[in-house]
Amino acid sequence: MRLLPGSLSGDRSSPPSWIRVAPGRVGLLLAPLLALVALALLPASPAAGPAGASTQLVEPVRAEQGMVVSDHWLASKVGRDVLGGGGNAVDAAIATGMALAVTHPVAGNIGGGGFMVIRFPDGSTTALDFREKAPLAAHPRMWLDEDGEYSYEIHHDSHRAVGVPGTVAGFDKAHRLYGELPWERLVYPAVRLAEEGFELSDDLAASLGRLVERTPYPATVEAFSRDGVPYEGGEMLTQPDLARTLDRIMLNRSDGFYRGETARLLVEEMERGDGLITAADLELYQARERTPVLGTYRGHEIISMPPPSSGGIAMVEMLNILEGFDLASMGHNTAPYIHHLAEAMRRAYRDRARYVADQDFADVPRHRLTSKDYAAELRSTIDPDRATPSSPSDLQTTYESPQTTHYSVVDGDGLAVSVTYTLEQGYGSEIVVPGAGFLLNNEMGDFNAAPGLTNERGLIGTEPNLARPEQRMLSSMTPSIVARDGRLVAVVGTPGGRTIINTVMQVILNVVDWEMNIQQAVNAPRLHHQWLPDRIRIEAGGASEATVEQLRAMGHTVEMGGRQGSANSIMIDPQSGERLGAPDPRSSDAGARGH
């Protein structure tokens, strides 16, 4: 191990008859059985548990067969139990995602959307796109007010900011294509968690308290408080309306969300708030299977998400640039190392803004952007001693909230699943659908502001990512998988808005160039540059004062502080084959569960 200067050392169409009862009755029938399963599958090695436990981890959690790492330890446990009950990694990913919709409401969701990248044991790959879509009534100038001026409030904080949700359709499609256990077995744990409740950590209780204090929506206050009184840590949060919605999804798959009672409640809320989503929008929504973005870095295969995510393209572009430099000779998080990373970042983020959008609506030059020849062109423009100024007249990026969530799953056969999904901002639009209990996204905010509207505040009006009927909005989500010589190496991803791509890349660099174990790679401090604004942000403790001064002398603007992402990741031990789970200590509820 290198010393690292500056770093931290059958037929699923019909549910079985026993499950066709009210959620409370299901709990009575299955609670003893599930309790026994959970006890039988407790990992032999220590695992991150309730709030704060993961902050003490310096070594990854080890398991011989399967591993689930997510932003809430209860959701990880749900996924672990699915693996132990005979499910594969896709099954566990679905169950984990459904449970996060209950236990991690700031980003876990059934009212949002996201992406899933899969690598099969034979090395083949695929990707599921369940990103939200613009409603049929959307148009490029929809964020302008009656005076023709851009309105941030309409764009981000209104019912019109809600995109057609994709999560339930995405999980349904993934299960039909690649799942093994019955659908009901995967959704039921989330039903039970919503109905019977779970104990709130101090952090989540405080976050819900802030939501309740600021939100103007009565249904949101009702869902996440005791008659308007904020919860405290240690209290139980029950969500009966959400339990009933999940029950409909359990019994009717996607139809339990996009049609029937749930759809009716959602459309009624849209009509109350002058939103655009109609019953037709919900019925038209379909998840898409896509070909992943593939790249290589120092002999490792990089598998990541294609458009409408910009993550795979931008990350492979940066890795291609950096492959031409001897990073290991520079020292981890030294001034030369940070400089070269920042220069690669600024070039990839400029290309992201210029070229990348929903590939069903735009001609995205993905092969050129991810080619080694193009990277060589960009590399030749990097001065090893001076920062390249980012011109204010150049392209700028739209706002993306850091409140997303990522989880990683590997099963005993080596099937690997990387999932990132989101509501956009923390708690999305903050709109809970009355009677349905789930939060709606405000993902339409990821579309560009208006045609030609590009300014120094960060708005961008380039053509590819304007709002159009049924177009998916651009994203930075970067669920990724790393392999080498036919072997699975790691499963990586993170939340963090525009920082996502850079966080995932740095975890991969930490594993490949710096030979860190996966927990060290996740723990290590991170940095971010995104072309404009022209600055490097470095996490607290990520660089010495002398290093910052060196960077400033090179022409960089440097800001220190804050935290970046929550990169819940898995690595395969090359000697033992064990699954090594690394919950990110930046998330107090994060946990790894293995069997």
Bridge partners of residue 115, in order along the sequence: 129, 420
Residue 6 lies in a domain: no
- Cβ contacts of 111 within 8 Å, gap of 6 or more: 165, 167, 423, 428, 433, 438, 439, 440, 441
List pLDDT tens digits, range 83-98. Answer: 999 999 999 999 999 9
Tell me the C-alpha distance between 417 and 95, whole Å.
12
**Rounded to an integer, what distance in angstroms lies between the CA atom of residue 430 and that of residue 443?**
12
Digit-coded pLDDT (tens) for 1-10: 333 333 322 3
Assess if residue 461 is contained within a domain.
no
Number of domains in the chain: 2
Q: What is the mean pLDDT of residues 246-253?
A: 98
Q: Averaged over 211-234, what is the pLDDT?
A: 97
DSSP result, 454-498? --TTS----STTS--TTPBPPB----EEEEETTEEEEEE----GG
Of 247, 189, 245, 190, nearest to 219 (Cα)? Answer: 245
Cα distances (angstroms) measured from residue 532 to each of 51, 249, 311: 36, 42, 17
Residue 8 lies in a domain: no
Strand pairing report for 288-290 and 198-199: unpaired
- pLDDT beyond 90 at 129: yes
Range of the domain at 220: 17-48+71-114+133-287+423-446
What percentage of residues in the chain have a pLDDT greater than 70? Answer: 87
User: Residue 486 region, left (φ>0) first, then alpha (ψ -120 to 50), else beta?
Assistant: left
pLDDT of residue 575: 94
Residues 435-451, mean pLDDT to the nearest whole number? 92
Query: Crossing angle of helices 335-355/500-512, nearest 10°?
Result: 140
pLDDT at res. 398: 57
List the structure tokens of 359. 């590939």
Question: 419, 332, 313: which is closest to 4 by C-alpha?
Answer: 332
| Catalytic annotation present for 278 | no
- pLDDT for 52 equals 31
Catalytic one of 103, 278, 397, 404: 404
Is residue 55 classed exposed, middle or buried when 0-12, 13-18 and 19+ CB atoms within 10 A define those classes? Answer: middle
Domain membership of residue 123 (yes or no) is no
Judgement on whether residues 282 and 298 belong to the same structural domain of the protein: no
Under the banding of pLDDT at 50, 70 and 90, the label for residue 451 is: confident
Do residues 154 and 248 both lie within one domain?
yes
Rounded to a whole number, what is the distance in angstroms from the first to the last CA of the chain?
27
pLDDT in tens, 285-304: 999 999 999 999 999 999 99
Binned at pLDDT 50, 70 and 90, residue 400 comes out as low
Task: Tell me if 182 is assigned to some domain.
Answer: yes
Backbone phi, then psi, for 297, in 5-degree steps? -145, 110
pLDDT band at 31 (very low <50, low <70, confident <90, very high): very low
Please report the pLDDT score of residue 6 as a whole number. 33
Those residues whose C-beta lies under 8 Å from the C-beta of residue 579, and which sit 6 or more positions away, are 62, 63, 64, 65, 66, 67, 410, 570, 571, 572, 573, 594
- Give yes or no: residues 167 and 297 share one domain: no
In this structure, are 168 and 256 located in the same domain? Answer: yes
Residue 529 pLDDT > 90: yes
Q: What is the pLDDT of residue 27?
A: 35
Residue 435 and residue 333 share a domain:
no
Q: CA–CA distance from 127 to each of 48, 50, 435 (Å)?
A: 29, 32, 33
The secondary structure of residue 145, as a DSSP letter, is -
Same domain? For 267 and 311 the reply is: no
User: What gap in Å lies between CA 316 and CA 322, rounded to an integer?
Assistant: 10
Asked whether residue 185 is assigned to any structural domain, the reply reads yes
Tell me how far CA of residue 259 lies from CA of 97, 254, 262, 263, 543, in angstroms: 21, 8, 7, 5, 52
Verify that 500 and 587 share a domain, yes or no.
yes
Q: Do both 391 and 271 map to the same domain?
A: no
Q: Is the same domain home to 199 and 95? A: yes
Q: Does 46 have pLDDT greater than 80? A: no
Residues 6+ apart with CB under 8 A from 65: 83, 411, 412, 579, 594, 595
Confidence tier at 403 by pLDDT (50, 70, 90): confident
Are both 86 and 43 inside the same structural domain? yes
**Domain-located, residue 168:** yes
Do 553 and 521 belong together in one domain? Answer: yes
pLDDT of the residue at 458: 43
Residue 361's CATH number: 3.60.20.40
- The answer on 518 and 379 residing in a single domain is yes
| Whether the bond into 479 is cis, omega within 30 of 0 | no
From the CB of residue 139, how many other CB atoms can be counted at a distance below 10 Å? 12
Which distant-in-sequence residues (6+ apart) come within 8 Å of 505 by Cβ? 315, 318, 319
- Distance between CA 138 and CA 134 in Å, rounded? 6
Strand order in the sheet with 113-119: 288-290, 125-130, 113-119, 416-422, 404-410, 67-70, 591-594
The phi, psi pair for 187, rounded to 5°, reads -90, -30
3-state helix, strand, coil in the chain (%, to 5): 40, 15, 45
Q: What is the mean pLDDT of the chain?
A: 89
Average pLDDT on 239-256 reads 98
Assigned token pair, 392: 């204010």
Rounded average pLDDT over 3-19: 32
Note the pLDDT of residue 532. Answer: 86
| Domain assignment of residue 418, yes or no | no
